[in-house]
Amino acid sequence: ISIITTIKELLKLNPLFKEELQIFLGHSDFTEPGKLADFAVALTTAGREELQEILGTFDVQDRIDKTLVLLKKELDLSKLQSSINQKIEATISKTQREFFLREQLKTIKRELGIEKDDKMSDTEKFQERIKDKEVPEDVKKVIDDELDKLGVLDTQSAEYAVSRNYLDWLTVVPWGVNSKENHNLAEAEKILEEDHYGL
């Protein structure tokens, strides 16, 4: 009776065993304890040595007792697996729910004009950086091409990140800002000698 009860509990946790049980019921009889023990042990994930030990036990009561121990282990494992799966599903559901809510919030904010999407923010940031700079024409063309590319790429793609980094680099260069050149070698030597004697 304990074996049958444990099998029923296992069936609740693992419906895959139902098919095996139906096959067993079609070909066997629960009134034969030895066969019931053999079937029950086949439902477990026991190792070959443990299975051989049970199949080599000829005393029916001993065989049933050993089978019951393995079934209880299997039941504990199934309960643990079920618990882990439920926690994972709950976490995934929560994460998905939060993701969808965040996306909806972003969309609502964009529609209301409260928030700009990442793409608009990036584009405006780069345009603002070069607005007052004397950018050479060939560089300006490269920046414009990259901004156009940025406009059509998915913000989550690797190419978007590469293009954004390239624009970031291009727009922080101090275009048109030149320092006054000093060709005085004695002055240069003096400056270098202050920190690096013997240069």
Is 152 inside any structural domain?
A: yes
> Which domain range does residue 59 map to?
2-88
Co-location of 64 and 12 in the same domain: yes
Distance CA 112, CA 171 (A): 30
Is 95 inside any structural domain?
A: no
Distance CA 175, CA 130 (A): 8
Is 185 inside any structural domain?
A: no
Is 128 inside any structural domain?
A: yes
Domain of 40, CATH number, reads 1.20.58
Distance CA 123, CA 192 (A): 42
Co-location of 10 and 57 in the same domain: yes
According to DSSP, residue 180 is labeled P
**pLDDT tens digits, one per residue of 126-142:** 888 888 888 889 999 99
Is 96 inside any structural domain?
A: no
Highest mean pLDDT out of 28-32, 71-75, 111-115, 181-185: 71-75
Is 164 inside any structural domain?
A: yes
Instruction: State percent of the chain over pLDDT 70.
Output: 86
Arithmetic mean of pLDDT, 167-184: 83
